[in-house]
Amino acid sequence: MIRIILFLVFTTFGFSQNYYLYVAAESDDTVSLIKFDGKSATELERIPVGIKFAETEGPHGLTVDPSGEYWYLSLAHGNPYGTLTKFSTQTNTEIATTELGYFPATMEISSLTGLLYCVNFKLYGTMTPSSVSVVDPQTMTEITKIPTGVMPHGSRISPDGRFQYSVAMMSGELYEVDTVSLEVNRVLQLDNNHHMNHQGMNHQDMDHQGMNHQEMHHSTTQPTWVIPHPSDSKVYIAGNSSNEIIEVDTDSWEIINRFKTGKGPYNIDITSDGKKLVTTLKGEGKTEIKNLKTGKSKIVDNTTKVSHGVVISPDNKYAFVTVEGIGGEPGVLDVIDIGKAKLVSSVKIGKQAGGIAFWKLEQ
Amino acid sequence: MRTILITSILLLSFPITNLYSQDLFVKSDLQGLKLKIGETFEPETYAENLKGERLSCPYTFYYNKQGVFSRAKAISYDRNKGEIKANAPGNHEVVAVCLGLDDQRLSRTFEVEVGYAMVKEITISVPKDNYVSTYLDLSFDVVDEQGFERDGQKLNLTSSSEILSIDNTNNVKAIASGTAKLTAELDGVSATVEIKVSENPLSKIEITSNQEVARTGDVVRYTATGFDSSGNEIKNLPFEYTFYGKSFDVSESAAGTILNDGRFVAEEPGNYSISATLGDITSSKPLRVVARDIKREVYRVGNTVVPDKRTSDFWIFEGVDGRDYAVTGTHSADGTAFFWDVTDPTNMKKIDSIKVDARTVNDVKVSQDGTIAIISREGASNRKNGIFILDVTNPYDVKVLSEYTKNLNGGVHNLFIDNDHAYVLGTGERYYILNIEDPTNPVEVGMFEVGSEGQNIHDVWIEDGIAYSSNWRDGVYLVDVGNGIAGGSPSNPVPFSNYTYASGANHAAFPFRSKSTGTFYVVLCDEIFPEGVNLTEPEITAGFCHFVDFTDLDNPVEVAKFEVPGTGSHNLWVDEDVLYVAMYGGGVRVVDISGELVGDLFRQDREIGYTMTGSPNGFIKNATMSWGAQVYKGYVFYSDMYSGLGVAKVSEDKPDTSNENQYIERTGIPD
């Protein structure tokens, strides 16, 4: 009888949890505010973020500041530099904008310095080293550009806020930036074979003009993401071309493991207890959930093709995955129950859903 | 390394949670700091709580609030030395950031004043001839010891003689003949020039013109001739031209533009009086200005609505079978390009389509012989955008010949085809020149870029072997790609002229030589979205078309503009001294650009007519968003983002204006 009463009480008055996220649609110049109530995800608002209607500026990276009061968006294309824009989470209106480098992409704010670190992906013509822009979000001033590798991506900050990690997709490197001194602290080559390996490369698509072939290293790994472990001295890297997750010990600064994945691992997030790693498999339209303790993985099919971003809810229950789609297909946000490894909800948004940031969890 | 280590220890010894319950404020000896050019300063910054207790910052750094770009070089911060350096005069904002004392970093902005160096030199420029009762056309250049020019600072002007009168804003008037020394002084440095003022030699001015009666928009040339008391002509006098007018319509004001060389153009019908003045001598000549009377009915002939996608650029061409065809792109959609049979403009038919892995096919162009089309690509799922080359020999069955992506991953927004070469924009930085003699195997043969910091290109147009690229803030570049004027070729593009303007919004360019005057112009149209992007309602646009006279390639001159209030410009076409310009929400405008061009063409009533291009069945119903216009076989084809492809005709008939301003006589020449 008591059990029945308790069941009725919980089902009648039980707390529901609402999860709120921002998701960017790169080919529609929109950002969607999404609410997931534990059962279904809905698009609360579609926010236009473009500058010129007839041009596609390409909203790419998103992050919410630690206070939850503001969200930040990188627009890949400008005249010619991309921009970083600060929005209010209360009104979803623009507060300030600053110019960054070529194709500013992923970013995060350090809880230690309060500064925002955004990689300039530079997906343009000749492949040359790019940089990490450091921005003071209070004044929205770009303080400095820290030179890093070719096509840097996946800017993530260590849990103590002390280091910023990014990977250079085409030079195959892991960069550790000191968030205080604003200098590169360490660089680690991620390719198995450090010598030039031309396997799997389409040289017709590459511009060799102006390259120093003695110095230029063509990555076979093509890393696209890095995420620090929440408690261990490790970072995990998505090897987009090598189809693997690379585990790096940040104490010894060496690769300690390589886990094979499905095709085209792209973005990664890790549960706050450090137990599970969730990776989007861009080449398969799937999401992989890996138990770091057992090493076992489960695969979840995404709604459409070209899986892109992933963020895990603070309670570690759900992974929110963006799926770009192809051509005129709408972008999709998939909600995956991590424990059950099951797709539980999807919502269509603008085309080429990519950047994603978790805003808040409300009881 | 040791510093970093100590810093790390200090920082990490402060937990993220707030140890300091009281509010903290940043204090610094940057407060009230004044520096000289070139001076360095090592600031000391700390935090203070409400009790006035001083707390050291574990780590401090500084930055120029203007950021890292070239505009921020006025004051710089050297992290290694921990010092700021004053590089340019002025008031600069320096932000001091204090880390490690709180759960959020503390910061405060300080204004640092960098003083000007001492004035080094003042230069005064004086006209050769100065006459009594005229204001002297003087200019002053002040340079300091650091080489910086001092603009906007008021000089102390004094005259050695009362023949010069100096008012509170430093206007200098000659009030009597003679010689005076004018001295300009600033910061103890001065310069003196001797100014000779002559009696006005004139006893009369005769003013002539090439027209007694003109239409609005007609440029009338006035020539003033001065004579002395003996009736002798005096040459090279600095006449000042002015005008007065009264509009025929009491609700309007007489208005126009008058230039220093005596050219006048009226914007409103009415009676005008143009004067030439030197000192106390003046002479005027009346001018009757009548309505331009060029309004014509512009009516829509046909429209093919694309209801489910936004339409982008288009191209009309004659196929190898002699029929007429069109290709249209799509924007923020699904990578489709449509092909149309437009032989009968009243009954245009969709005949084929190509769909590629993209979201936007922004530009579409067809080779002069009608066999090859190229479509641009943005938003490819594999991020390799580039172009597709199509065989349009049979537009009813279009085939892909090749895909080309080298250097074009970031997306192609615009392109042009000219004589077996494609000019393709690579992610807005530069254009690549591809030889497409074998369209299945395009080969890069050349490249052009402006080479400036932040170079950015939006469009390119080729005519007579000259590429006209629109480069936003870098304006238009004229590049020889085969004309021969500068020895250029597709594999060796050579720039030979450039023009920039203040808004930095140069989006499209179209060259033309005026049939009526022979003057060579390039029309440069802006693209501006002042309020960003709206998802559900028609967009707000701004900007206009600039008419630049390129007669002197070394000194192009902007002479006129076409601006429609409330709407902005986009793509354009010029044919037979008529401008056809898509003005986004303002529809397609047809403008008489015959004759000499000076001033504001819209206000001169040079607009022949317009058509609003929206459709009740459009992507956004009834909304107009005109993209571009092309004149072809007597028709004005256009594309509209919301309605698709349309065609209009400029009638010989005047529009029916019986229901508007029916009591106003605006045309004809009163007897």
To the nearest whole percent, how much of chain A has pLDDT over 70?
Answer: 88
pLDDT value at A6 more than 60: no
Element (H, E) at A10: helix A2-13
Query: Among A317-331, B355-369, B520-534, B588-602, which stretch is predicted with the lowest mean pLDDT?
Result: B520-534
Nearest to A99 among B69, B105, B336 (CB): B69
Element (H, E) at A11: helix A2-13
pLDDT tens digits for range A44-86: 999 999 988 888 899 999 999 999 999 999 999 888 899 999 9
With beta carbons under 8 A apart, name residues in chain A contacting B66: 141
The reported pLDDT for the residue numbered A212 is 44
Determine the average pLDDT of the residues in B163-187: 96
CA distance B517 to B596: 7
The token pair that represents A87 in the structure block? 């929005």
Distance of CA A219 to the CA centre of its chain: 20
pLDDT tens digits for range A273-308: 999 999 999 999 999 999 999 999 999 999 999 999
Interface test with A, best of B535, B537, B584, B625 (most A CBs within 10 A): B535
Look at B534 and A48 and tell me if their CB atoms are within 8 Å: yes
pLDDT value at B80 more than 90: no
* Residue B81 contacts A, CB cutoff 8 Å: no
Look at B527 and A52 and tell me if their CB atoms are within 8 Å: yes
B109 exposure class (CB count in 10 Å sphere: 0-12, 13-18, 19+): middle
Q: Residue B61's pLDDT band (boundaries 50, 70, 90)?
A: confident
Q: Residue B605's pLDDT band (boundaries 50, 70, 90)?
A: very high
Tell me the residues of chain B between 48 and 77 that have a Cβ less than 8 Å away from chain A: 59, 61, 63-69
CA B329-B380-B450 angle, to 5 degrees, is 75
pLDDT value at B395 more than 80: yes
pLDDT value at B21 more than 60: no
Look at B627 and A54 and tell me if their CB atoms are within 8 Å: yes
pLDDT tens digits for range A141-199: 999 999 999 999 999 999 999 999 999 999 999 999 999 889 999 999 999 865 444 44
Interface test with A, best of B60, B76, B78, B533 (most A CBs within 10 A): B533
With beta carbons under 8 A apart, name residues in chain B contacting A139: 65, 95, 107, 109
Write the single-letter amino acid at B65.
Answer: K
Look at A77 and B61 and tell me if their CB atoms are within 8 Å: no
Residue the block writes with tokens 């691992």: A265
pLDDT value at B596 more than 60: yes
Look at B529 and A52 and tell me if their CB atoms are within 8 Å: yes
**What SS3 class is residue B532?**
coil
Higher pLDDT, A126 or A213: A126
The reported pLDDT for the residue numbered B182 is 98
Residues of chain B with CATH 2.130.10.10: 298-649
To the nearest whole percent, how much of chain B has pLDDT over 70?
Answer: 94
With beta carbons under 8 A apart, name residues in chain B contacting A126: 407
Nearest to B334 among A111, A144, A328 (CB): A328
Look at A141 and B63 and tell me if their CB atoms are within 8 Å: yes
CA distance A133 to A143: 8
CATH topology for B298-649?
Methylamine Dehydrogenase; Chain H (2.130.10)
Higher pLDDT, B122 or B106: B122
The reported pLDDT for the residue numbered A158 is 97
Q: Residue A209's pLDDT band (boundaries 50, 70, 90)?
A: very low
* Residue B227 contacts A, CB cutoff 8 Å: no
The C-alpha of B386 sits at a distance from chain A's nearest C-alpha, in angstroms, of 10
The reported pLDDT for the residue numbered A310 is 98
With beta carbons under 8 A apart, name residues in chain A contacting B1: none
The reported pLDDT for the residue numbered B117 is 86
Q: Do residues A100 and A142 lie in contact, with contact meaning Cβ atoms separated by under 8 Å?
A: yes
The reported pLDDT for the residue numbered A10 is 46
Look at B332 and A111 and tell me if their CB atoms are within 8 Å: no
* Residue B221 contacts A, CB cutoff 8 Å: no
pLDDT tens digits for range B129-162: 999 999 999 999 999 988 888 887 899 999 999 9
Look at B7 and A181 and tell me if their CB atoms are within 8 Å: yes
Look at A113 and B105 and tell me if their CB atoms are within 8 Å: yes
Determine the average pLDDT of the residues in B199-212: 96
pLDDT tens digits for range A152-163: 999 999 999 999
The reported pLDDT for the residue numbered B99 is 86
For A81, name the nearest residue in chain B, comparing CA atoms only: B454
The token pair that represents B652 in the structure block? 């010989």
The reported pLDDT for the residue numbered B18 is 39
With beta carbons under 8 A apart, name residues in chain B contacting A178: 4
Determine the average pLDDT of the residues in A245-270: 97
Number of other residues whose CB lies within 10 A of the CB of residue A234: 19
The C-alpha of B238 sits at a distance from chain A's nearest C-alpha, in angstroms, of 44
pLDDT tens digits for range A19-35: 999 999 999 999 999 99
CATH topology for B2-115?
Immunoglobulin-like (2.60.40)
pLDDT value at B350 more than 90: yes
Higher pLDDT, A24 or A14: A24
Look at B357 and A143 and tell me if their CB atoms are within 8 Å: no
Element (H, E) at A8: helix A2-13
For residue B128, report the phi and psi dihedrals to the nearest 5 degrees: -70, -45
CA distance A263 to A194: 22
The C-alpha of B501 sits at a distance from chain A's nearest C-alpha, in angstroms, of 16
For B531, name the nearest residue in chain A, comparing CA atoms only: A51
Nearest to B332 among A56, A115, A126 (CB): A56
With beta carbons under 8 A apart, name residues in chain B contacting A145: 68
CATH superfamily, domain at B204-290: Immunoglobulins (2.60.40.10)
Look at A205 and B384 and tell me if their CB atoms are within 8 Å: yes
pLDDT value at A215 more than 60: no
Nearest to B429 among A125, A305, A326 (CB): A125
The C-alpha of A361 sits at a distance from chain B's nearest C-alpha, in angstroms, of 21
The reported pLDDT for the residue numbered B662 is 60
Q: Residue B93's pLDDT band (boundaries 50, 70, 90)?
A: very high
Q: Class of the B119-197 domain?
A: mainly beta
Look at B410 and A125 and tell me if their CB atoms are within 8 Å: yes
CA distance B596 to B220: 9
Determine the average pLDDT of the residues in B196-214: 96
With beta carbons under 8 A apart, name residues in chain A contacting B73: none
Residue-level length of chain B: 671
The token pair that represents B85 in the structure block? 């350096």
Query: Among A202-216, A247-261, B54-68, B639-653, which stretch is predicted with the lowest mean pLDDT?
Result: A202-216
Nearest to A327 among B97, B358, B429 (CB): B358
Residues of chain B with CATH 2.60.40.1080: 2-115, 119-197
Look at B359 and A352 and tell me if their CB atoms are within 8 Å: yes
CA distance A235 to A258: 12
User: Measuring CA to CA, which residue among A359, A358, A355 is closest to residue A28?
Assistant: A355
The reported pLDDT for the residue numbered A309 is 98
User: Measuring CA to CA, which residue among B643, B658, B569 is closest to residue B300?
Assistant: B643
Q: Do residues A106 and A133 lie in contact, with contact meaning Cβ atoms separated by under 8 Å?
A: no
The sign one gets for the Cα dihedral B100, B102, B105, B107 is: negative
pLDDT tens digits for range B418-444: 999 999 998 778 999 999 999 999 999
pLDDT tens digits for range B279-326: 999 999 999 999 999 999 999 999 999 999 999 999 999 999 999 999
Residue the block writes with tokens 């469009």: B459
* Residue B429 contacts A, CB cutoff 8 Å: yes
With beta carbons under 8 A apart, name residues in chain A contacting B620: none
Higher pLDDT, A35 or B99: A35
Look at A114 and B105 and tell me if their CB atoms are within 8 Å: yes
Per-residue buried b or exposed e for A323-362, using 16+ beta carbons within 10 Å of the residue's own CB = bbbbbbbbbbbbbbbbeebebbbbbbbbbbbbbbbbbeee
pLDDT value at A214 more than 90: no
Write the single-letter amino acid at A348.
Answer: K
A/B interface, count of CB pairs below 8 Å: 173
pLDDT value at B19 more than 80: no
Number of other residues whose CB lies within 10 A of the CB of residue B645: 26
A30-36/B387-391 β-pairing: unpaired
Interface test with B, best of A79, A103, A351 (most B CBs within 10 A): A79
The reported pLDDT for the residue numbered A15 is 63
Please report the ipTM that was assigned to this predicted complex: 0.83
Q: Residue B661's pLDDT band (boundaries 50, 70, 90)?
A: low
Interface test with B, best of A55, A94, A99 (most B CBs within 10 A): A55
Determine the average pLDDT of the residues in A307-332: 97
Distance of CA B281 to the CA centre of its chain: 40
* Residue B87 contacts A, CB cutoff 8 Å: no
The reported pLDDT for the residue numbered B69 is 64
With beta carbons under 8 A apart, name residues in chain A contacting B381: 305-306, 324-327, 352
The reported pLDDT for the residue numbered B16 is 36
Q: Residue A329's pLDDT band (boundaries 50, 70, 90)?
A: very high
Interface test with A, best of B4, B381, B457 (most A CBs within 10 A): B381
Per-residue buried b or exposed e for B147-175, using 16+ beta carbons within 10 Å of the residue's own CB = ebebeeeebebeeeeebbeeeeeeebebe
Tell me the residues of chain B between 350 and 369 that have a Cβ less than 8 Å away from chain A: 355-360, 362
With beta carbons under 8 A apart, name residues in chain B contacting A48: 532-535
The reported pLDDT for the residue numbered B429 is 85
CA distance B570 to B486: 30
The reported pLDDT for the residue numbered A48 is 94
Q: Residues near A118 by Cβ (< 8 Å), separated by ≥ 6?
A: A61, A74, A84, A100, A104, A105, A106, A107, A132, A133, A135, A155
Q: Residue B3's pLDDT band (boundaries 50, 70, 90)?
A: very low
